[in-house]
Amino acid sequence: MRKPFRHSNSARSLLALLLAGLALIPQPSASAEPPPEPEGHEVRTAPIDELSRGLGLDRAAVRRLLADEEAAAATQRRLVPRLGSSYGGSWYDRKTRRLTVAVTDPALSRPVSEAGARVKVVKHSRATLAAVQTELDDRARRDPSAAAGLAGWHVDEPTNTVVVDAVEGRPAGAVLKAARAHGAAVRVKSVADDLPRLSAAYLDGGETIIMPNLSTCSVGFNARMYTNSPVMITAGHCADGGGPVVGFNGRGIGPWWFADRTYDWGVTAVDTTQWEQGPWISRHTPDDSVYLVHGSFQAPVGTSVCKSGITTKVTCGIIRWRNETVPLDNGKILYGMTRNTTCQEPGDSGGPYFSGGQAQGVATAARYRRDNDHSPWLCLSKYGLENVSWYQEINYILGYTGARLLVD
């Protein structure tokens, strides 16, 4: 029997869900730390139903997709170290059901093909494009007004360019001018006047945490820091509501230890006399069952990802790209964001993103729409559009803080 961390100390049965894992790419970070083994695990499958709803596939197609993604991730893991400075990026295509790997040196086409991936010879290496993005990021950090008129910029591996989203009808600042100076390495794309918003004001998540100003956010991941100090990782902008934070039942969780608004991650202490921690992600089901976290291997671009949140429950989508710079509607700029198509709404902030049992990140911002000034903000899929959401990579947070995830 397990005492769920989000409830009182009365014993409750665990329906632990063992996700059908993707063989994902290891990222350098502090080693994960296993918690005490709870009893009574019932092993189930991946979130098949949620993936089916999120991706518009039947259950059989979802199972095929997971198998294909596992194979693609394993191929990527083998190839990337061998390609060195010629590596131009890689991505999974659901239509062809294959991984594509870009290289700048045609001589490397053969080992890529022999590994079972499609080859694309490109002009720019991934490192070259990343350097362009870093230059634009640095300009925006020095002067946020330089990002005026832009909705974001990121490295787009399939087109081998840095894509800059320019908002229609808005005057652009110095970042766009600097981007155009890179010629063919940059592609400027016009987008609607619809800047993203932080998942704020109604901030719930995997499970609710409440700030002194009564704003709410979500539990992200349980972890340990320093000499085994218990902590919880969530979104950084949640700290705008003050601290210390409490849980849904009014029991104190702990004060903020870190809150980075630029990369949007935060860490709170956890009072373990009030809360039991574990590698658990809520399924939001009547039986209070959970998904288990087994590690934090990074899922490839183009593969599926899911999120747990109080507002939208468990929703799933596709990873579009990583390390996007995202200007917000409040004038702030987020860095290092991973864009995806999961439905995320106010109330989901800080909630855990996961793929194949591997922690991916914490929910940060999304693009919303609503019918009028008095109606709630909703994710774009409820208006027939593709969702646009972001999370901060968990491995970035672990590497920066030295925290260690609790894993099964």
> What are the catalytic residues?
237, 264, 349
Q: Give 120's strand partners.
A: 102
Q: Give 186's strand partners.
A: 162
SS (H, E, C) the chain: CECCCCCCCCCECCCEECCCCCCCECCCCCCCECCCCCCCCCCCCCCHHHHHHHHCCCHHHHHHHHHHHHHHHHHHHHHHHHHHHHEEEEEEECCCCEEEEEECCHHHHHHHHHCCCEEEECCCCHHHHHHHHHHHHHHHHHCHHHHCCEEEEEEEHHHCEEEEEEECCCCCCHHHHHHHCCHHHEEEEEECCCCCEECCCCCCCCCEEECCCCCEEECCEEEEECCCEEEEEECHHHHHHCCCEEECCCCEEECEEEEECCCCEEEEECCCCCCCCCCEEECCCCCCCEEECCECCECCCCCEEEEEECCCEEEEEEEEEEEEEEECCCCCEEEEEEEECCCCCCCCCCCEEEECCEEEEEEEEECEECCCCCCCCEEHHHHCCCCCEEEEEHHHHHHHHCCEEECC
Dist. CA 64–CA 67, nearest whole Å = 5
